[in-house]
Amino acid sequence: MKASAADRASHDTVESGIIPLTTAEIHVWLAFYDEISEERLHSAYRELLDVAEKEQEPRFYFARDRRRYLVTRALVRTVLSRYVSIDPREWIFSTNAYGRPDVVNAQARDAGLSFNISHTHNLIVLGVTRRRALGVDVENVRAREVSIDIADRYFAPREVAALAATPPHQQQYRFFEYWTFKEAYIKARGMGLSLPLDKFSFHYPDDRTVEIAIHPELADDSARWQFWQFRPRPEYLVAICAERVGTQSPSLIVRQAIPMLSDNQCAVDFLRVSEESALATT
């Protein structure tokens, strides 16, 4: 009799093989958690969690939120173990003053490993890199409809004006373009919403590129950052913000994963990139 996915996963809690990750790469992992529904696989995931994580899962009221939490924790632990020889159960995490998670394990710190994570309806996005700041954000542009008035309250004047000039049928999507870029940037800074959203702005010189302008009071240099945006499926928009390290623009490699079971590299069309990054996407 052929073994189920969960049977195979339960016998091997460490994904096979270390994946090379140079400082010239950023790896982006996608997990569609509504499609990971087998309870025996969920049970295998729970075996990876620490005590606090196990206690947190049942506190979510809705089953979908419990599944999202469980798959997220399993994804982080198993994916990080693809880069450093640490058992998924042995990862230790801490958060900074703004709530950003980071690894504590000395072996991972010595390797310069860092990660960032975001989720929306049915999709978890995990970015992994070495020796550079990184922020990721994802939104389901079809499951949510927002009031454009939010932009008037939180966006920079330049963005508000550009959004108002956008044809009405395109305004929702343009809003999420701005929003995901902004979220990715503040997450890369590691300071969350303590950074005022109206003190930096995004500009689109053409249909394929993006630029950031940063107010002096944020004490940052726009040349420090580069950006990518893509849609892994029509309903999702993902933004990546990465710190520039050296003169070489990093390549992005995107994978879809079912934790403990499979992963496959994905070809994606990058919709917008920082101009210097245009030739470095894969």
CA 278 to chain centre: 20
- pTM value is 0.91
pLDDT band of residue 143 (cuts 50, 70, 90) is confident
pLDDT band of residue 194 (cuts 50, 70, 90) is confident
pLDDT(160) > 60: yes
Element (H, E) at 240: strand 236-243
pLDDT band of residue 193 (cuts 50, 70, 90) is confident
- Cα–Cα distance measured from residue 106 to residue 114, given in angstroms and rounded to the nearest whole number: 12
Q: What is the pLDDT of residue 145?
A: 79
Among 216, 210, 158, 206, which residue's Cα sits nearest to residue 184? 210
116-123 long-range contacts, CB within 8 A, separation 24+? 116/187, 116/188, 117/72, 117/76, 118/183, 118/187, 119/33, 119/68, 119/72, 120/236, 122/32, 122/33, 122/34, 122/35, 123/30, 123/31, 123/32, 123/33, 123/232, 123/233, 123/236
Q: What is the mean predicted confidence (pLDDT) over 76-93?
A: 96
Q: What is the pLDDT of residue 179?
A: 96
pLDDT band of residue 128 (cuts 50, 70, 90) is very high
Instruction: Name the DSSP letter for residue 258.
Output: E
Between residues 45 and 154, the one the model is more confident about: 45
- Cα–Cα distance measured from residue 135 to residue 183, given in angstroms and rounded to the nearest whole number: 8
Q: What percent of the chain has pLDDT over 90?
A: 79
The C-alpha R_g of the chain, in whole angstroms, comes to 19
CATH class label, 5-277: alpha beta
3-state secondary structure of 131: coil
pLDDT(177) > 80: yes
Summarize pLDDT for 16-39 with one digit per residue, the tens: 588 999 999 999 999 999 999 999
**Domain ranges in the chain?**
5-277
Among 7, 1, 68, which residue's Cα sits nearest to residue 32? 68
pLDDT(8) > 70: no
The encoded tokens of residue 62 equal: 């809705």
Residues 103 and 129: beta-carbon distance below 8 Å = no
181 phi and psi angles, rounded to 5 deg: -60, -45
Q: Which residue in the block uniquely carries the two structure tokens 């087998």?
A: 38
Element (H, E) at 220: none
pLDDT(2) > 80: no
Q: What is the pLDDT of residue 17?
A: 81
pLDDT band of residue 91 (cuts 50, 70, 90) is very high
Q: What is the pLDDT of residue 5?
A: 44
- Cα–Cα distance measured from residue 211 to residue 225, given in angstroms and rounded to the nearest whole number: 9
pLDDT band of residue 157 (cuts 50, 70, 90) is very high
Buried (b) or exposed (e) across 181-219, using 16+ Cβ within 10 A?
bbbbbbbbbbeeeebebbebbbeeeeeebbebebeeeee
Among 141, 136, 114, 113, which residue's Cα sits nearest to residue 126? 136
Q: What is the pLDDT of residue 10?
A: 38
Summarize pLDDT for 38-57 with one digit per residue, the tens: 999 999 999 999 999 999 99
Q: What is the pLDDT of residue 46?
A: 97
Q: What is the pLDDT of residue 14?
A: 41
